[in-house]
Structure 1
């Protein structure tokens, strides 16, 4: 459980930017440093991640259409090993994980023409007070070479995407030592290279089961530090986050045209949250929030969740080496091609894994993001925000709410005010036309939810 300290600190390093009108509670409240978050970072092991990547590479190929019967080669052996690792983690925490295969038979698709069972491995760590609220971390099991239909050639997939699966396993090892208010899902998803099928299957399952899914952190290639352009950099990472959500209705689009929200989708505010976690907890790491669903014209396993309206981002390296992506193993003109393990920086993979882990932990410990956030103040000198009161039984850690605002061209929230456990607050002499606004839930020890922009454009769901 959580360790309580008496040092004064904020979860996010925004204290220097807080409005001068902040209440006495905001100035004098003693917030405890979440020592566990710092400990989580320290517990992430580059050595364990290296061993996991080595094991995944040892299966030769993890192509979706590859062998499922062998114990040593193919995607079947790989997914059985992943499940065994999750089972082992669960046994060490007294059965704290629900581990299961999730599958669906796919056929008649361009990249899966014949009936094929696409099987992912899912582990769920249920929350103590609000188990129906979820945050999720994912990596992709499958690998490929130049020909996307070649399921027999060696395809190590060391960085793409054994690194993401290894990071997900390692996050589960570390976070399973703690208890949280909300639930955490660790997902090793299959079928990504053949059409994002594992993500589609899990997203549809989440929707069917009425998961209140607040965040999807998709990790796809988190181990390369040397770009094809020759740049070597282990101090930066990218967070891709779409703007206007895919599920927006015509009526909602019309409202957004007059109120804003293009850059304040839940995915964008999730990305801002992770960016601040990097600043606060991950030494020597600067994250770049990219205002795009994914790399130009490309896709990843967060997209199926975005397609259903869930907040989701892609976390990955900054500098890609295309000679190591989707390539047959070969040497041409002195250039080595192929996604082999010698191209993975394990310390860097551990750094990005730690970023995932602290972000998941913070959100799972925090109260649920505010729902039904509304704003008013047209042709007035003041701005009023309101929101629904969080369920007290699900959120016993709730201390109150914090309003954020920023200039409309600012990438991060600039000003904030803790307003207490109320459901409406008016910011005096803050003109609605000049800023974007949002509300976060705050726990008794200062842990905060992501910021929620008012209206449908920014809603994280009920």
Structure 2
């Protein structure tokens, strides 16, 4: 173990880390090539097709008088056919499935499902290439249901181009690009899941069922990327939209934490270090690596496209499908455009007093959606390529001293040659400011350890796994141990 190393005087070896901002990881050429397969033209074709179903209200699955080829059931069948087509292109590499269930009627004045309703989630699985790591899963999703002003309206025009055909287009683009990359030789150790869920507008019903399914089937979901309203709304005259930024919302205290766990996290100052928050930081790190692969932002004086970490579960008065996975204990985040236009969400299509309402395709910035999709695909591929995150991470607190001893074990299935990196930040900093590679050693006895001349009282530590190519896992924070 590294903690067994001694200096010439027989004292434990202390590693003195440099103080520097962590540099981005090197690009993986195969991942970068996969991102180039995501185009605005494909995004447009998929959103335009979803719009043709006219009204994708979840409740329309129970209607018998819809025009042929319209409604949520027809939309689900088309999404499944797209995933099947992608699978055919890659020699059957995708396992396409649907999760169909009956949501019971709700009661109360605000009930949004008033009779038993059939809901279908559609998803495709790209199995991991390493049998020791294939149980690990990374999932991307968007919701394909739409709504008009009246959330119970199953017949009026509800195109839902931005909310949330844009998110479904991201999921489909990731499936197409990464399955194509698989056929071209990109083999990722962990498994990828590409999903489209329904029931979001009626109460997150589809995602809640899929999350419970994942829990019951023992999915090792390490990351859930929920894309909801990622169309880069383009309203004439709006000067406050920022096409260089996409918001990434993440929970602080895990939604499934017990009261005692919550007290512990608050006592340690770990309220901003949930697995979802560390996923958010990993996304920001990956974005720095693949920034030039996302495509230019053509607006004057705008920086390169980048995620903005939003340290909040979601927006005020709103909710999203990521929270369904959070409730089941899975790390999950939400991607959303920088500035929403509520005239183009949850509105009947109409013009009043010169103002155009409705969620129409013409207000979607297709290049922006493509950039969001590339960020999602880069995140999925990087996390699937990286070794599993360390487990049993601890910071030793048995003595009052100004050093910090960290110890951990490799995650299940960690391949030979996995290395580790210590990251840290001042208590008031939102993201990691420093990184220190852990020196390699020949024999760890299943345990890694390192001592740093940094006071554990002044910083927050994280430990992440790294492979020889530089793919990094999300960091995990060490808990006190005596």
The reply to whether TM is greater than 0.5 is yes
**Secondary structure of 1:453 counterpart:** coil
Indicate the residue corresponding to 1:278 in structure 2: 287
Equivalent residue number for residue 74 of structure 1: 71
Which residue in the other structure is 1:161 paired with?
A: 164
CA apart distance, 1:309: 1.4
1:360 aligns with 2:380: yes
- SS of 2:247's partner is strand
Is the 2:241–2:338 contact (alpha carbons within 8 Å) kept by the matching residues of 1? no
Which one of 284, 293, 300 corresponds to residue 313 of structure 2? Answer: 293
For residues 254 and 67 of structure 1, what CA distance do their matches in structure 2 show? 44
* Partner-residue secondary structure (3-state), 2:371: helix
| Equivalent residue, structure 2, for 1:332 | 352
Q: Secondary structure, in 3 states, of the residue corresponding to 1:148?
A: coil
Q: After superposition, where does 1:248-287 map in structure 2 within 5 Å?
A: 248-283=257-292, 284-287=304-307
Q: Does the 8 A contact of 2:18 with 2:436 survive in 1?
A: no
C-alpha displacement of 1:33: 3.9
Match of 2:97 in 1: 100
1:236-292 CA distance string (max 9 Å, x none)? 110001100022223323322332210111111101111122222134212211111
Q: Which residue does 1:414 correspond to in 2?
A: 433
Q: Distance in 2 between matches of 1:353 and 1:397?
A: 32
Equivalent residue number for residue 10 of structure 1: none
Aligned partners of 1:398 and 1:144: how far apart in 2? 50
C-alpha separation in 2, matches of 1:219 and 1:201: 18
Note if contact 2:223-2:330 (Cα within 8 Å) is conserved in structure 1: yes
Q: Distance in 1 between matches of 2:26 and 2:459?
A: 30
1:376–1:384 contact (8 Å) kept in structure 2:
yes
Distance 2:82 2:256 in 1: 36
1:201 has 2:220 as partner? no
- CA deviation digits over 1:207-260, x for unaligned, max 9? 101111110000001112436964232111100011000222233233223322
Q: Offset at 1:71? A: 4.7
Taking the aligned partners of 2:198 and 2:53, their CA distance within structure 1 comes to: 15
- Structure 1: give runs of 5+ residues left out of the alignment: 1-17, 457-462
What residue number does 2:451 align with?
Answer: 427
C-alpha contact (below 8 Å) 1:101/1:119 kept by paired residues = yes
Q: Give deviations 1:377-429, integer Å, cap 9, x for gaps.
A: 452121111112233xx332642111111101111111111113653323332
Q: Distance in 1 between matches of 2:479 and 2:152?
A: 44
Larger Rg: 2
Residues in 2 aligned to 1:355 and 1:344: alpha-carbon distance in whole angstroms: 18
Partner-residue secondary structure (3-state), 2:392: coil
**Is 1:446 matched with 2:470?**
yes
> Could you tell which deviates more after superposition, 276-285 or 71-80?
276-285
8 Å contact from structure 2 (residues 389, 476) kept in 1: yes
SS in structure 1 at match of 2:387: coil
Q: Does 1:139 align with 2:134?
A: no
What is residue 403 of structure 2 aligned with on the other side?
Answer: 382
Q: Which deviates the most, 394-403 or 261-270?
A: 394-403
Match of 1:395 among 373, 396, 414: 414
Whether 2:175 is the aligned partner of 1:172: answer yes
TM-score w.r.t. structure 1 length?
0.89
CA contact (8 A) 1:225 1:233 kept: no
Give 1:35's aligned residue.
29
Q: Say yes or no: does 1:89 pair with 2:86.
A: yes
When residues 252 and 97 of structure 1 are mapped into structure 2, their CA distance, relative to the original with a 3 A threshold, is same
Return the TM-score normalized by structure 2.
0.85
Aligned to 2:423: 404
Question: 5+ residue gaps in structure 2?
Answer: 1-15, 293-303
What is the distance in 1 between the residues matched to 2:343 and 2:417?
49
Is 1:97–1:123's contact at 8 Å kept on the other side of the alignment?
A: yes
Name the CA distance, whole Å, in 1 between partners of 2:377 and 2:417. 22
In the alignment, the residues of structure 1 paired with residue 315 and residue 34 of structure 2 have an alpha-carbon distance, to the nearest angstrom, of 30
Choose the corresponding residue for 1:321, options 325, 338, 341. Answer: 341
1:459 maps to which residue? none
CA contact (8 A) 1:41 1:281 kept: no
Q: Partners in 2 of 1:304 and 1:41 — Cα distance?
A: 28
| Matched position secondary structure for 2:134 | strand
Q: Are the structure 2 counterparts of residues 396 and 322 from structure 1 closer, same or farther at C-alpha, using a change threshold of 3 Å?
A: same
Partner of 2:298: none
- Report the CA distance between 1:67 and its aligned residue: 4.9
Cα distance in 2 for partners of 1:124, 1:398 equals 28
Matching residue of 1:189: 197
